[in-house]
Amino acid sequence: MESITFKIHNDITQLPTTWNQVATDNAFLQTQYLSVLEESAPVNMQCFYISIYEKEEHIGVALAQYLEVGKLESFGDRENCLKTKIRNFVFRNFASHVLFLGNNMITGQNGYAFNKAIDFKHISDVLVQCSDEIIAYFKKQNITIHIVSFKDFYQHCSEELKKYDFGKMYDFNVQPNMIFELHSDWKTESDYVAAFSKKYRDQYKRSHKKIEGIDEKELSYEEIVAHEERIYELYHHVAKNAPFNTFFLAKHHFSTFKKQCGNQFKLYGYFLEGNLVGFHTLLLNGETLETYFLGYDDHIQKEKMLYLNMLYNMTKFGIENGFKKIIFGRTALEIKSSIGAQPVMMSGFIFHSNKLINKYIGKIFEKLEPSVAWQQRHPFK
């Protein structure tokens, strides 16, 4: 690799025609999904799309996101304690302008893709150079980027990147990504349920008994539009009650996703007596099924075990449609492990533009990052 260059775009109409050929293995980097971000990104987010070249050949793509965290009305309302108030003060005053190299809206290594083998030194070099150029872009607008974060790397990638410029940054592990590697001999939901130990087979039966009276239905684009206000209300309730948030989706995000991605994006509604009481979403990403945002009425969820049934339904879809694994993300770890998902540690890298703050970034991060105690479940015989 003699000459690596890159070009940063802030509008998907500027992307080279070869973009999707390079990003072919990751739906979260293809133009259909990037169009969703372009049309319905969170109000405090600006996206940058990076084309990477070796000489004249287009060999890589990457995504960066700028977040103006100070625009948020709330970082999450679940934990109203002194630690949370201190964390919110720090974020508003010392971390309100954040640059992510990667996708802060999802869990997984979705920040870049190459169509040929690239060594980690070149990956490190180009990602750091991209961040420098975007920092300079904002500096011209009199905006100081406080924090730069390179997001979500699997452990072997993280270890390799640390040998180069990433080794100068603070590397962190937050909650693991819950990933369900589906058994190749499971062809139906019955095969999956048969693999449970008695305790978890009983849990499955109990949850299915509880949800009686609720109808599940995949919604078309027109139906998503018709229910958009309620869908957003259910999503926003769950999002606001998370321990910590750096963004909230735009109100028309889900209809935009369906419009741009068609059958690759699926939204399932849960109806009680004709009223929408919950929904979950999926993105079909090659042999991987990606779970996306969901929402529910809290009272119905507790009474009907709605969330657990959503997890079972996502798993059923993955099995019956031949997916190899399901990415469940990094929330609700214990209940996800109870249906078969396993924790996979992922690393990120972070630095602060203030040298004094950056010197203590590790200690600060440990104090501010919400910690979650959980017990891993082992549901299979």
169 lies in some domain: yes
Tens-digit pLDDT profile for residues 143-179: 999 999 999 999 999 999 999 999 999 999 888 999 9
List all residues 6 or more positions away from 359 whose beta carbon is below 8 Å from its beta carbon: none
Judge if 160 and 228 occupy the same domain. no
**Count, residues in the chain:** 381
d(CA 177, CA 181): 12
> Is residue 216 located within the same domain as residue 137?
no
Query: Token digits for 237?
Result: 């309730």
Q: Is the dihedral of CA 70, 73, 78, 82 positive or negative?
A: positive
pLDDT at 73: 59
Task: Return the CATH number at 105.
Answer: 3.40.630.30
CB atoms within 10 A of CB 81: 9
| Domain count within the chain | 2
Q: Are both 82 and 48 inside the same structural domain? A: yes
Same domain, 304 and 339: yes
Domain that includes residue 298, residue range: 178-343
189 with 121, same domain: the answer is no
Q: Is residue 378 in some structural domain?
A: no
Q: State the pTM of this model.
A: 0.92
pLDDT average, residue stretch 85-99: 68
Q: Same domain, yes or no, for 252 and 315?
A: yes
User: Is 373 contained in some domain?
Assistant: no
pLDDT digits (tens, 9 = 90+) for 220-260: 999 999 999 999 999 999 998 876 677 889 999 999 999 99
Confidence of residue 31 (pLDDT cuts 50, 70, 90): very high
User: Considering the domain boundaries, does residue 380 fall inside one?
Assistant: no
240 and 138 in a common domain: no
- Tell me the C-alpha distance between 181 and 233, whole Å: 32
Shared domain for 189 and 328, answered yes or no, is yes
Amino acid of residue 237: H
For residue 74, pLDDT over 80 is answered with: no
Distance CA 88, CA 368 (A): 9
Q: Is residue 44 part of a domain?
A: yes
Question: Both 125 and 153 in a single domain?
Answer: yes
14, two tokens: 């500027």
377, part of any domain? no
Q: Is residue 218 part of a domain?
A: yes
Least confident interval from 28-42, 86-100, 183-197, 316-330 = 86-100
Task: Quote the pLDDT of residue 241.
Answer: 83
Contact between 218 and 267 (Cβ < 8 Å):
yes
Cα–Cα distance, 128 to 164 (Å, whole number): 10
Q: Is residue 273 part of a domain?
A: yes
- Quick one: 169 and 208 in the same domain? no
What is the per-residue pLDDT for 76?
A: 46
pLDDT tens-digit readout, 332-381: 999 999 999 999 999 999 999 999 999 999 888 877 666 778 999 999 99
Q: Does 199 lie in the same domain as 155? A: no
Average pLDDT of the chain, as a whole number: 92
- Check whether residue 312 and residue 267 sit in a common domain: yes
| pLDDT score, position 78 | 46
